[in-house]
Structure 1
Amino acid sequence: MADETSIGATAGEQTAQVVVYTTEPCAYCVQAKRLLDARGIPYTEVNLARDPSGRAELVALTGRYTFPQVVVCGRSVGGFSELLAADRAGRLRDLLAA
């Protein structure tokens, strides 16, 4: 359910509601994408293993160095743990509605 793009296409102009920044191999990246797929939430994936030049932009956008990083409506949610916590608390749909 993911579209794939480069960081430059998403960092300056967030066109997708949900952007998942990933690398390979990354079990938490897979889990984050599975959670979004299970909820029927479309997302754009930016795989920094294929385009490592975007890592500095990601850190500037999120302030974090770990993967995955999930951005919802231009706001950094965090990694898989934060995404899961937001989902369990019912905040994920609220973030999407904002």
Structure 2
Amino acid sequence: MTDNRPTSFPETVLNTTENGATPPEITVYTSAICGYCVAAKQFLKTQGLEWTEVRIDLDPDARQRMVEQTRRTSVPQIFVGQTHVGGYDDMMALHRKGGFLPLLEGAARE
């Protein structure tokens, strides 16, 4: 089986938005044994982004909050500010169609 995940990504490093504001906080719900969680964090790292990691395998209350917010039980679940991006595949699809950078710049997701 081949792994279709890209090994490198175009740079979208953001320290501030165009108007000088700080980009919205990125929150990633994860668990210890999740390859897609590792891939999501690696992507964010290659973009020069920081995130808050919430380990649902260590915190049952965090898992419950994640499920209530997303209606999903799988990880990762990624938020940019209050916007639920989805999982790794959702984030990468958004990135490929040019929607991830505007989301980081504070634009509303369609």
TM-score interval w.r.t. the shorter chain?
Answer: 0.7 to 0.9
Structure 1 vs Structure 2: percent identity of aligned residues? Answer: 37
Number of aligned positions between the proteins: 83
Q: Tell me by how many angstroms 1:56 deviates.
A: 1.3
Query: In structure 2, what is the equivalent of residue 62 of structure 1?
Result: 70
Deviation string 1:27-50 (CA, Å, 9 cap, x unpaired) is: 000000000001111111001111
TM-score for both structures, normalised by structure 2: 0.71
For structure 1, the residue ranges without an aligned partner over 5 or more in a row are 1-15
Bigger fraction of residues in helix: 1
RMSD over aligned Cα, in angstroms? 1.1
TM-score for both structures, normalised by structure 1: 0.79
For structure 2, the residue ranges without an aligned partner over 5 or more in a row are 1-23
Indicate yes or no: 2:87 matched with 1:76. Answer: no
2:80 partner amino acid = V
Larger RCO (CA under 8 A, 6+ residues apart): 1
Query: In structure 2, what is the equivalent of residue 29 of structure 1?
Result: 37
1:32-47 aligned within 5 A:
32-47=40-55
Task: State the 4+ residue runs in structure 1 displaced beyond 2 angstroms.
Answer: none
Q: 1:95 aligns with which of 85, 103, 110?
A: 103
